Structure 1
Amino acid sequence: MTVSKTILLITHEETVASDYGYVAEYLTELGHTVLHHEVLKATPAYDGFLDANTDFPSLDGLDAVIMFGSFTHAYNPDTRPWVEREIEFIRSVRDRGTPYLGICFGAQLLAEVLGGRTVRNDRMEVGMISFDTTAGCPTAPGPWFSWHNDKVELPDDVEILAQNDYAPQVFKAGNSLGVQFHPEVTKELMDEWLRVGGDELTGTLDAAEFRRQWD
């Protein structure tokens, strides 16, 4: 019997599709209570970024926190002020001992909390990917959905559980886990990302091939 937990999901740039994909439905089916905090708002009529809401809920009563991806970059000077507030929130999650899962952007901010950093790579990693895993890795080696052009650089005391020739893909410190890929993606969410940010793929992978890989 699953013991019910209360889990906070933190998303960015939510549009017409739920930015947490499969995760909320899966957790609810397991009997958990899901709370949602949206940092940025984007709509079909307005895809620009509005003011960031970094007034996160209290950690009291939370059993875990999951932070999802973003179209911004951890090092972007235009968004860095609210990114730093998110980093401090993640730090407080770790200080409290609350389990944390960071996905893509959420993993990159975790890397900073752990003493690492996020840097721009010389190419995009997009489409379905696979990677090498260690015996302790909690994920399969792939295929997984990926869309990013950044990578984390981690200090030696962070355990890298999976990587490929592009970047570390899964890493762990205590009860905090970061994954660079997107395990949450649904077809609806993928189509929405293509609508909002598909121009970023020009010259790397066209939308038809992107969808073919998914299918």
Structure 2
Amino acid sequence: MRVLFVKQDHASPGGLVGDAFAGLGYDVSEFTVVPRERYHSPAVTVEFPDPAGYDAIVAFGAVWAVYDDAAIGTWVHDEIAFTRAALGLGVPVLGICFGGQLLAAAAGGAVTRAPAPEIGWNVIETAGTGLIDPGPWFQWHSDRFTVPADVPVLARTALANQAFVCGRALGLQFHPEVTDEVLQCWLDGGGSAGLAAAGVDADALLAQTRRLQGAAAGRARELVRRFVRDVAAAPVGAVPVA
């Protein structure tokens, strides 16, 4: 089984999600959208691979906004088209944060600025379907997605939708992949300044992540297992949970 990890940039380790797919026997391939040398000028030209060549696709997060064409150029529309093609082919897709927002856009939804950022480990309200646990899950985002009325929202907070299912795809607003190493990678990539601007203590957040990541690893493994069992294996065109 082949899974493609679509990394929007060089600073997006697979973390707990990567470990979970490897533990289920998947052969992991990676595709980086914005190379390291273009991280600060990300309006690059990208040719996405054929989604039909994979048994699943995981789209990871990014520091950019889905709707910020002025900053990132046209590749975001190409990635939405790539994701829409995967949906049409019945290739299972797991979208994480920016990736979840891309998935929402591909499914006919929208992405907008949230009333306030959500940063840190938060418990979310779930629909009780058994697919998404309440957490706590790690969040770091300033945008949010909406989905069409016929697409089930499985989890939310007061500020944003947190999970939805569309056929063989699962979109998440939170980050199930996060460990202290993943978070440190984000901080080293410029995230420390963003946390400071938001009034968040980076050292305290790292320390909290180290305390919580053991239990988070179990939740991440179970989330990926449920994605493979309940979402990826659903009949093409079906909504597996309501």
CA distance in 2, matches of 1:93, 1:138: 22
Between the aligned partners of 1:182 and 1:55, the Cα distance in structure 2 is 26
Counterpart for residue 40 of structure 2 = 48
Q: Note if contact 1:137-1:161 (Cα within 8 Å) is conserved in structure 2.
A: no
Equivalence for 1:26: 20
Q: Does 1:64 align with 2:59?
A: no
CA distance in 2, matches of 1:102, 1:9: 10
* Alignment partner of 2:166 out of 164, 173, 191: 173
Q: 2:135 aligns with which of 142, 160, 171?
A: 142
Number of residue pairs aligned between Structure 1 and Structure 2: 207
Q: Could you tell me which residue of structure 2 aligns to residue 6 of structure 1?
A: 2
Among candidates 4, 25, 31, match of residue 37 of structure 1: 31
Q: 2:203 corresponds to which residue? A: 208
Runs of 5+ in structure 1 lacking a partner? none
Structure 1 residues 128 and 49, CA gap change in structure 2 (3 angstroms): same
Alpha-carbon separation, structure 2, partners of 1:121 and 1:197 = 19
Contact 1:73/1:105, CA 8 A, preserved across alignment = yes
Matched, 1:92 2:88: no
Deviations 1:52-103 (A, max 9, x none): 3632222333111110001110110222411000000001000101111100
Offset at 1:188? 1.1
Distance of 2:96 and 2:130 partners within structure 1: 15
- The residue that corresponds to 2:106 in the other structure is 113
Specify the SS of the correspondent of 1:189.
helix
Q: Could you tell me how far apart the structure 2 residues matched to 1:134 and 1:169 are? A: 11
User: Structure 1 residue 157 and structure 2 residue 147: aligned?
Assistant: no
**4+ long deviations beyond 6 Å:** none
Cα shift readout 1:153-198 (whole Å, capped 9, x = no counterpart): 2221110001110111011111111000000112111011112222
Q: Which moved more, 1:88-97 or 1:205-214?
A: 205-214
Separation in 2 of the partners of 1:132 and 1:99? 24
1:182 and 2:175 are equivalent in the alignment: yes
Q: Residues of 2 paired with 1:142 and 1:204: CA distance?
A: 23
Cα distance between partner residues in 2 of 1:148 and 1:110 = 16
* Distance of aligned partners of 1:126 and 1:108 in 2 relative to their CA distance in 1, 3 Å threshold: same
Structure showing the higher helix proportion among its residues: 2
Normalising to structure 2: TM-score of the pair? 0.80
Distance in 1 of aligned mates of 2:75 and 2:117 = 25
Is the contact between residue 42 and residue 73 of structure 2 (CA under 8 Å) also seen in structure 1?
no
Q: Please tell me the residue identity of whatever aligns with 2:49.
A: P
Aligned identity (percent) is 36
For 1:13 and 1:26, locate their aligned partners in 2 and report how far apart those are by CA, in whole Å: 21
> Aligned Cα RMSD in Å?
1.8
Aligned residue for 1:118, secondary structure, equals: strand
Gaps (5+ residues) in structure 2? 211-242
1:131 aligned to which of 104, 124, 142: 124
